[in-house]
């Protein structure tokens, strides 16, 4: 996958890679690793929604910070304030 503007340099790179490796041009990418790709940005919302659904967290209420910042969590429950 190549990211960037199509230019003479890209066409040259593509030709060089094609002469060395068996390649197929699939055109502009629309999805990659579960993320939707548009021409101006990567949209991870689909990937995030799937992760929330997989963990049965759809009915959870979002919060900006689930606990006070600056704590080190320990297994014994004696959390330390930094």
Spatial separation of the C-alpha atoms in residues 68 and 51, rounded to whole Å? 25
Whether 74 is covered by a domain: the verdict is no
Q: Which domain holds residue 24?
A: 1-60
Whether 69 is covered by a domain: the verdict is no
pLDDT at res. 20: 92
Whether 11 is covered by a domain: the verdict is yes
With a cut of 80, say whether residue 42 has pLDDT above it: no
Whether 3 is covered by a domain: the verdict is yes
Whether 80 is covered by a domain: the verdict is no
User: Average pLDDT over the chain, rounded to whole?
Assistant: 80
Spatial separation of the C-alpha atoms in residues 60 and 56, rounded to whole Å? 9
Half-sphere exposure of 59 (CA within 13 A, CB side): 1
Split into its structural domains, the chain has a count of 1
- Minimum mean pLDDT among 9-18, 23-32, 35-44, 71-80: which range? 35-44
């Amino acid at each position: 996958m190549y990211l960037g503007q199509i230019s003479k340099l890209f066409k040259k790179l593509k030709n060089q890679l094609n002469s060395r490796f068996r390649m197929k041009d699939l055109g502009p990418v629309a999805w990659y690793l579960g993320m939707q790709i548009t021409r101006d940005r990567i949209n991870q919302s689909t990937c995030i929604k799937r992760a929330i659904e997989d963990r049965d967290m759809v009915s959870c209420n979002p919060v900006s910070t689930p606990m006070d910042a600056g704590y080190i969590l320990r297994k014994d429950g004696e959390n330390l304030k930094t």
